[in-house]
Amino acid sequence: MFTNRQKMSVVLLIVSLGFVGYLVFPAMDITAQDKPETFVTHSGTVVQTTGDILDPVYTIQEVEFDPLQYLREFDYGEVSYLEDGTTLREFTIVAEDDKIMEIAPGIFYNVWTFNGTVPGPTIRATEGDLVRIHFTNNGSKEHTMHFHGNHPAEMDGIFEIVGSGGGQFTYEFIAGPVGVHPYHCHVMPVEEHIGHGLYGVFIVDPKEGRQQADEMVMMLNGFDTDFDGENNLYAANTIPFYYQHHPIQVNTNELIRVYVVNMVGFDPINNFHLHGTLYRYYPTGTDLIPSEFTDMTTFSQSERGILEFEYEYTGRYMFHAHFTEFSEKGWTGLFYVKDGSQLNKEVYDYGS
């Protein structure tokens, strides 16, 4: 009835129509989940979907780096005393540059690390202590450690390039001046080495100490995950939106001290804004008298300072970049203020 040629052309036609149809119309996937899932928008609306949720904010995520642990973790080093009574603090720092970390839900980025994390450990000493850092470069590129602060030229981490694959260097200097400083790799291109995560916080306490407080470190950082010279993600302590769904718990009428360091690259400035109270601001932390009483501070690249404040009322208070582009790309979080006087009677259950 039909010739072979006609049959062939019908088959060809069907195959090509099928192919075109597949390209023209979105794939109808019959394996889609039957049970709809829900998620909550920024404004609180609940939305239902039969597919996957792309949620940077509200899902409980498993992170390789815990910003809540980093927040209040200070490395005082291995302490011993010299003959003249000087405190010697020794630190071991290892640089690596081959780690792939999930820095936001589903986004994998090659981080370069001091001791395996971005930021590196918060190194803390008292003014006048002798700081000795045993640095090993296990990376595939050259790296150094450059501390802001007072030290001899040969301890500056600029010309003493530490070779890859196990190169070593010992940095040694007297801690000072008092304040909060960054440390970072200073191998060129510096923007690349910092952008991938080779930085951390260095705190020098005054000899007489500071007033007892709930102390925490906030490293303001960002990641240019597609290398177009603009940051795709911003955060306080690396993971975008983390403190938004894991609020930092603090108490009413307790002094809170935050060491803030801005290491965001590419963008000339960053800033910090606090809700519900104002703070005393100590630029670079070098002076013990605050320069300002405010709720908003601007930080240029590597600019830093110390914030001191108390909350009078309980509840949830935001802190975030008032540069809203940064806050809506992750640099935002919450303080969850509990009643300090009730502290021992209540069970901490929020966010658990």
Partner 1 sequence: MEVKRSSNVKTAVSVAVPFVLLAVMIGYVFGPGSELIDYGILLPDISIEKIEFVDSEIIATVRNTGPISVDVVMADINDRIYPAAIEPDKHLERFQSAIVRIPFEWNEGEPYAVGLTVDDGTRFEKRVDAAAPSIQPTIEMISYFAVIGTYVGIIPVLIGLLWFPFISKLSRNKYKFFLALTVGLLLFLGISSAEEAIKISAENLSDVFNGVLLVATVAIVSFLALNYAGEKLKERAGASKLAGPVAIALMIAIGIGLHNFGEGLAIGAAIVLGEAALGAFLIVGFALHNTTEGFAIAAPMARTKLMIGRLAAMGMIAGVPAIFGAWVGGFVYSPFAAVIFLAIGAGAIFQVIVSIMRWIQNEEGKLSNGSVLAGIAVGMMIMYITSILV
CB 291 within 8 A of CB 250: no
Identify any residues that bridge with 134 across adjacent strands, giving them in sequence order: 92, 170
Q: How many CB atoms lie within 10 A of CB 60?
A: 8
> Shortest Cβ distance from residue 33 to partner 1 (Å)?
8
Q: Rule CB under 8 A: is residue 243 a binding residue for partner 1? A: no
Using the rule CB under 8 A, which residue among 49, 86, 168, 342 binds partner 1? 49
Q: Which is nearer to partner 1, 2 or 159 (CB)?
A: 2
Cα four-point dihedral sign 204, 199, 150, 309: negative
Using the rule CB under 8 A, which residue among 51, 166, 229, 315 binds partner 1? 51
> Shortest Cβ distance from residue 320 to partner 1 (Å)?
13
Residues 6+ apart with CB under 8 A from 183: 120, 123, 145, 146, 147, 148, 199, 200, 201, 202
**Residue ranges in 285-314 that form contacts with partner 1 under rule CB under 8 A:** none
**Residue ranges in 194-233 that form contacts with partner 1 under rule CB under 8 A:** 223, 225-226, 228, 232
CB 226 within 8 A of CB 314: no
**Vertex 334: Cα angle to 37 and 316 (nearest 5):** 95
Q: Which stretch binds partner 1 (CB under 8 A): 31-39, 62-70, 246-254, 308-316?
A: 31-39
Report the distance separating Cα 221 and Cα 140, nearest Å: 23
Q: Rule CB under 8 A: is residue 23 a binding residue for partner 1? A: yes
Report the distance separating Cα 97 and Cα 144, nearest Å: 13
**Residue ranges in 321-340 that form contacts with partner 1 under rule CB under 8 A:** 324-325, 328-330
Q: Which is nearer to partner 1, 40 or 213 (CB)?
A: 40
Report the distance separating Cα 206 and Cα 245, nearest Å: 35
CB 260 within 8 A of CB 81: no
Q: Which is nearer to partner 1, 39 or 76 (CB)?
A: 39
105 CB-contact burial (10 Å; exposed 0-12 / middle 13-18 / buried 19+): middle
Q: Rule CB under 8 A: is residue 47 a binding residue for partner 1? A: yes
Q: Rule CB under 8 A: is residue 284 a binding residue for partner 1? A: no
CB 35 within 8 A of CB 19: no
Q: Rule CB under 8 A: is residue 39 a binding residue for partner 1? A: yes
Using the rule CB under 8 A, which residue among 8, 11, 12, 52 binds partner 1? 52
> Shortest Cβ distance from residue 260 to partner 1 (Å)?
22
Instruction: Provide the residue type at 156 as one letter.
Output: D
> Shortest Cβ distance from residue 235 to partner 1 (Å)?
12
Report the distance separating Cα 178 and Cα 217, nearest Å: 16
**Residue ranges in 94-153 that form contacts with partner 1 under rule CB under 8 A:** 104-109
Q: Rule CB under 8 A: is residue 56 a binding residue for partner 1? A: yes
> Shortest Cβ distance from residue 32 to partner 1 (Å)?
4
User: Phi, psi (5° rounding) for residue 291?
Assistant: -90, -20
Q: Which is nearer to partner 1, 37 or 154 (CB)?
A: 37
Q: Which stretch binds partner 1 (CB under 8 A): 56-64, 141-149, 199-207, 299-307?
A: 56-64
Q: Which is nearer to partner 1, 50 or 92 (CB)?
A: 50
Report the distance separating Cα 116 and Cα 349, nearest Å: 30
Using the rule CB under 8 A, which residue among 12, 15, 53, 158 binds partner 1? 53
Identify any residues that bridge with 292 across adjacent strands, giving them in sequence order: 281
Q: Rule CB under 8 A: is residue 10 a binding residue for partner 1? A: no
Q: Which is nearer to partner 1, 154 or 325 (CB)?
A: 325
Name the nearest CA neighbour of 88 among 79, 96, 97.
79
> Shortest Cβ distance from residue 140 to partner 1 (Å)?
16
By CB under 8 A, name the binding residues for partner 1: 20, 22-27, 29, 31-33, 37, 39-43, 45, 47, 49-58, 104-109, 223, 225-226, 228, 232, 240-241, 324-325, 328-330
